[in-house]
Structure 1
Amino acid sequence: MVLDTELAWAGVCQWPLVPILLRGLLSASTLGLLGLILAFHIKDIQLYMLENGLRDWRVALGPARLGLILLELGVCALHPPPPPLGPPPPVRPGAGPGAGHAAAAVLGAPRRPHGHSAGGRGGAGGPGGGWAACGCAAPSPCAPLLARHPAALLLALALGAWVLSAWVLAACESGVPGGAGGLGATLWLVPITFLTIGYGDLVPGTICGRLVCLVAGILGVGCTALLVAVAAEKLEFTRAEKHVHNFMLGVECARKMKHTAATVLQEAWRVHRHRRRQEPARARRHQRRLLSTLHTFRELRLQHRALREQVNSMVDISKMQLVLGEISAGLSSGHQELRQRLDGLEWKLDALARRLGTPGAPPTPPGR
């Protein structure tokens, strides 16, 4: 899409089959992407059914999940259609590519599946099942990367947003009198807008350019907030604050576990009751709720276990410090006692030697 936009922008290729070929390849890649998304979701539902022991696929495919799949397909299907056959439309003098190619560039931007999963653990039914298959901002592998190197990841995303916004802004402002200018000028304008500085030396002259600058400013505010959040996350609590914080989290997690366990029993009873009444639709609805509640209960149990392990590790460190202090004190007292015994033994040996050498001589106490 970038190649098509640049060729149309420069006007160096007058062969009408080139844009048709490029747009056709873009449409073919979009159809392939939609097919891969459908195949992924079918496999995801099959794994979810296999993991939870389901026989009816309608239980796994709820209304919310179906809506997300349709929304994902609709977003990924957006792309500029191939141009009609025939001579190209006349271009007005001084019009340039402007908003038409900029809109095509936005529609033809790289798309990725917005994978998701509707509960369960492990495989495609886990919390990162769909995300792990598509490779976008997901629990795997970008979430560990965000946890380990948050500043580097935010910097890479900001640079990518700068370059893409500058290119789209250059496509919008090309050939417009009083516009922002070429790619070099937009590479200066976008970071200044992104960082919310705004010197005012360059101003976009088209509606498309103003929208791009508006989006760049919003992204800049969001990145600034994320950097502040990362800096706040790096601040550590004191030991007493950690104990209090973990205790409160443990109490809240235990309360949620009890509430979720009661909900599991309630939904299981409703599934049994609707099955006895021969109401399959309501039984499937409550079965979906039961599976979702079970998934929530598993996550709460894992969270509670992690909190307990963290508390135990903090307690173990405190106990280790106390034990090391007691061992050090015991070694010091044992050393003093051993020294006293050695002094007493030396005094007794001296006394015994004197008695053997000079009978009747009184023993000399130690220290004389």
Structure 2
Amino acid sequence: MKFTAATNQYDTVRRSQSREELTNGQMEKNLLTAIDFVASLPMSQQNNIKKHDDQETFAAMKDQLIQRKKLHYRCRHVTDSMCLIAVFGLVLMIIDTEMRLNEIETIIIVIIRPLIGVSTAILVGLVFYYHSLNMRLYAINNHIADWRVTITISTIAIILFEALVCAIHPFPYKNKGLSIFTLFNKSAWIQMFLTLPMFARLYLVARSVTLHSPLVNAASSRTIGYLNRVPITISFILRALLQTYPAGSWTCVMVITLLIATWALRACEAAMWLPKISVSPQPNDSTSTFSSAVWLTIVTFTTVGYGDVTPRTYCGQGVSTITAFFGVFASAVLIAVFTNKIALNRSEQSVLDFVNQINRARAYREKTVRIIQYSFRAWFLKRNGHRYRATFNSLYRLHSALEDSREIKQEQRNAVNGTESLLTMLSDVHDEQRNNDKSLTKLKNHIVHLEEKINGLENKLDVIVNMLSKNSPST
């Protein structure tokens, strides 16, 4: 009964700590009372109370893990929904733009833009909901009691910027004559800035790929990341994906970029927005077709620039400029990926070097044999007085063999110099390890010598103590 009363009193005090109606004096008094109760208990009952606290701690940790798993799944489902809604809005925007370019007057064109507006509103709401879930997940991962503590100015700025990116869409109204160029169409630039930036919503695809990655879903990888203080972020996942599947992932990025740039260039050059040079109401036939836009995009992306097809609008020139910059970056990454793919590993490089060394040694022996043959033949022909032409041919072959042998010898020296740094490093490591072993052996011998001296001093002290005890006045 005494143990039960103490436990109940202790639990009451712990619950009372989290109540705001208790004052500091009351909390200190209750804590002192609980401590007095616990101190008056036997040791076995105190151990039982400690076990009870440990069980509560483990139960709290279990609840946090379960809550973390639920929040992670919810974030993933919300991101998938955002990705689908964003792609749905992009498809509707492309359909609306194509219908306005081709001047198709149907009831569908009146419905599409309101649908885009509704999907955009849902997408913006999901953005705020996702970030609230993400902040709660961050609070659980970092053992923060209240997730509202994680709200900072940078977090608010990121959320607002993401909401702004997702909120961009063409306004739901019907603009007559949009496909015909008019110099005083002031809404053309507004339509351009509200249509093309919608492709920025594709960043949600990268987030969805990140949340579906095994590095995020596997508990082992997350644990290793936490232990090594490596955050499993979108940047880390995408770089790991490029490192693991460089060809496939980068090919997908390039193809998607080319398709987006091609459609945007076609929409710009089909008199969708204000042209730069010509003020003719006719569209630019050279780049308004899809095939010509594909050709111009590929030529610009590869930084070739034949000049047979050129953009004639401000919008088309801007799209071409962005495509050219991305093409330079993509070419550099593609060269690095290709170089990494064709590079040999250490074992393969060792085998190749060994085979080349054997081939060079064989070729050097063959050239040496030919030098001896041609030297003896030239000496024999010159001594026996044969014709000058035969002697000259023998001397020419002799000098050719000498030149080839010098080249092979130089290649052997270069191959040795190439591996000299590795051999030197290995020899230095071996020498350092040998010196460390010698120092360790000397240290062990010194310790043994000190132990022997200490034992000798101990024996001498024992003898002195015995002699003093025998010669003491008590005896």
TM-score when normalising by structure 1: 0.52
Please say if residues 242 and 249 of structure 2, whose CA atoms lie closer than 8 Å, have aligned partners that are also in contact.
yes
Query: For 1:154, which of 231, 234, 250 is the aligned residue?
Result: 250
Letter aligned with residue 56 of structure 1? D
| Deviation for aligned residue 1:41 | 1.3
Residue 106, structure 1, aligned to residue 196, structure 2: yes
- Assess, with a 3 A threshold, how the Cα gap between structure 1 residues 22 and 232 changes in structure 2: closer, same or farther: same
1:10 to 2:102 alignment: yes
Match of 1:202 in 2: 309
Shift of 1:144: 3.9
1:80 deviation in Å?
Answer: 1.4
8 Å CA contact 2:168–2:194 kept in 1: the answer is no
State the structure with more CA Rg: 2
Alpha-carbon distance, 1:145 to partner:
3.0
1:167 is the counterpart of 2:263: yes
User: Are residue 24 (structure 1) and residue 110 (structure 2) matched?
Assistant: no
The amino acid that maps onto 1:200 is G
How many residues are aligned here? 225
Counterparts in 2 of 1:167 and 1:42: CA distance versus 1, 3 Å: same
Maintained 8 Å contact 1:176/1:205: no
Contact 2:297 2:323 in 1 (8 A): yes
Q: Report the CA distance between 1:74 and its aligned residue.
A: 1.5
Q: Deviations over 1:105-152 (max 9, x none)?
A: 4133361448699xxx949x98336x4xxxxxx544x44432222122
Match of 2:293 in 1: 186
CA distance in 1, matches of 2:179, 2:302: 36
Aligned to 2:167: 77
- d(CA) in 1 for partners of 2:117 and 2:158? 22
Q: Following the alignment from structure 2 to structure 1, what is the Cα–Cα distance between the partners of residues 236 and 194?
A: 31
Which amino acid counterpart does residue 33 of structure 1 have in structure 2? L
2:134 corresponds in structure 1 to: 44
For residues 215 and 110 of structure 1, the distance between their equivalents in structure 2, rounded to whole angstroms, comes to 14
Secondary structure class of the residue paired with 1:108? helix
The answer to whether structure 1 residue 54 and structure 2 residue 54 are counterparts is: no
Q: CA RMSD in A?
A: 3.7
SS in 2 for 1:180: helix
CA distance in 2, matches of 1:173, 1:109: 18
Deviations along 1:310-363, one digit per CA (max 9) or x if unpaired, are xxxxx9xxxxxxxxxxxxxxxxxxxxxxxxxxxxxxxxxxxxxxxxxxxxxxxx
Identical-residue share of aligned pairs (%): 27
Alignment partner of 1:212 is 2:319? yes
**Which residue identity lines up with residue 157 of structure 1 in the other structure?**
V
Gaps of 5+ in 1: 132-137, 240-314, 316-368
56-65 or 101-110: bigger deviation: 101-110
For structure 2, the residue ranges without an aligned partner over 5 or more in a row are 1-92, 212-220, 271-281, 348-425, 427-475
Q: Is the CA contact 1:166–1:183 (under 8 Å) kept in the aligned structure 2?
A: yes
Q: Distance in 1 between matches of 2:253 and 2:156?
A: 30
So what's the TM-score if we normalise by structure 2?
0.42
- Cα offsets for 1:127-184 (capped at 9, x unmatched): 336x4xxxxxx544x4443222212222221111111111111111114246523111
**Match of residue 403 from structure 2:** none
CA contact (8 A) 1:80 1:107 kept: no
**How far, CA to CA, are the matches of 2:156 and 2:303 in structure 1?**
40
Q: Is the 8 A contact 2:165 2:200 kept in 1?
A: no
Helix, strand or coil at the partner of 1:71: helix
SS in structure 1 of the partner of residue 325 of structure 2: helix
CA distance in structure 2 between the aligned counterparts of 1:190 and 1:91, rounded to whole angstroms:
24
> 1:122, 1:36 → 2: CA distance?
26
Amino acid in structure 2 at the alignment position of 1:57: W
Q: Deviations over 1:228-272 (max 9, x none)?
A: 333455547869xxxxxxxxxxxxxxxxxxxxxxxxxxxxxxxxx
Measured at CA, do residues 3 and 104 of structure 1 come closer, stay the same or move farther in structure 2, by a change above 3 Å? farther
> Are the equivalent residues in 2 in contact too, given 1:178–1:205 (CA < 8 A)?
no
Give, in angstroms, the shift of residue 64 of structure 1.
Answer: 2.0
The residue identity in structure 2 corresponding to 1:51 is N
CA contact (8 A) 2:269 2:287 kept: yes
Question: What secondary structure does 2:288 align onto?
Answer: coil
Superposition pairs for residues 214-233 of structure 1, below 5 Å?
214-231=321-338, 233=340
Considering Cα pairs closer than 8 Å and 6+ residues apart, tell me whether 1 or 2 has the greater RCO: 1
Tell me which protein shows more helix as a share of its residues: 2
Matches within 5 A, 1:1-368: 1-15=93-107, 18-83=108-173, 88-90=175-177, 102-109=192-199, 111=201, 112-113=203-204, 122=222, 127-128=231-232, 131=234, 138-140=235-237, 142-174=238-270, 175-177=282-284, 179-231=286-338, 233=340, 235=343
